[in-house]
Amino acid sequence: MAIARLGATVLDCPDPLALARFYAALLGGTPATDPAEPDWVDLEVPGGHPLAFQEAPGYAPPPWPSVGGAQQFHLDLKVEDLDAGEKEVLALGATVLDNEDRTRSWRVYADPVGHPFCLCAC
């Protein structure tokens, strides 16, 4: 028997609502805020795992590529068409992190505050 169930995946960031809106445009859902917790935003992803966004004073994006060791965390997001998905995430404010091999079945980006994520062909 499992000890716990996975709740939300939480991303630290300088502006939780702005980053939640980016991921809502990418994955669906509506950011939910609570006036009692202005440094936290929840995003229920339709058919997926919940994400949450937490304000982190002094936030610094993870380095890419990581010189001092392996990247600690990233999201893999499935898309039907890599080229179309890329066009849309770039229009939302993502940036390309790795553009070396366009023949792979995945591509690496950063969200607007620098968290790495991959679009993966499904």
For the chain, what percentages of helix, strand and coil (3-state, to nearest 5) are there? Answer: 20, 35, 50
* Structural domain range at position 15: 8-56
In a domain, 61, yes or no: no
Q: Are residues 80 and 122 in the same domain?
A: yes
Q: Are residues 50 and 84 in the same domain?
A: no
Q: Are residues 85 and 122 in the same domain?
A: yes
Of 96 and 71, the one with more pLDDT: 96
The pLDDT assigned to 4 comes to 86
The pLDDT assigned to 99 comes to 83
Q: What is the pLDDT of residues 81-121, one digit of tens each?
A: 999 999 999 999 999 998 888 899 999 999 999 999 999 99
In a domain, 34, yes or no: yes
Q: What is the pLDDT of residues 11-57, one digit of tens each?
A: 999 999 999 999 999 999 999 999 999 999 999 999 999 999 999 99
In a domain, 67, yes or no: no
Q: Please give the C-alpha separations between residue 75 and each of 9, 16, 34, 107, in angstroms, as whole numbers.
A: 10, 17, 25, 11
64 φ, ψ (degrees, to nearest 5): -140, 130
How many domains are there within the chain? 2
In a domain, 120, yes or no: yes
Of 69 and 44, the one with more pLDDT: 44
In a domain, 83, yes or no: yes
Pair 49, 6: CB distance under 8 Å: yes
Q: At residue 71, does pLDDT exceed 70? A: no
In a domain, 42, yes or no: yes
The pLDDT assigned to 69 comes to 61
CATH number of the domain residue 20 falls in: 3.30.720.120
Paired sense of beta strands 106-110 and 116-121, if any = antiparallel
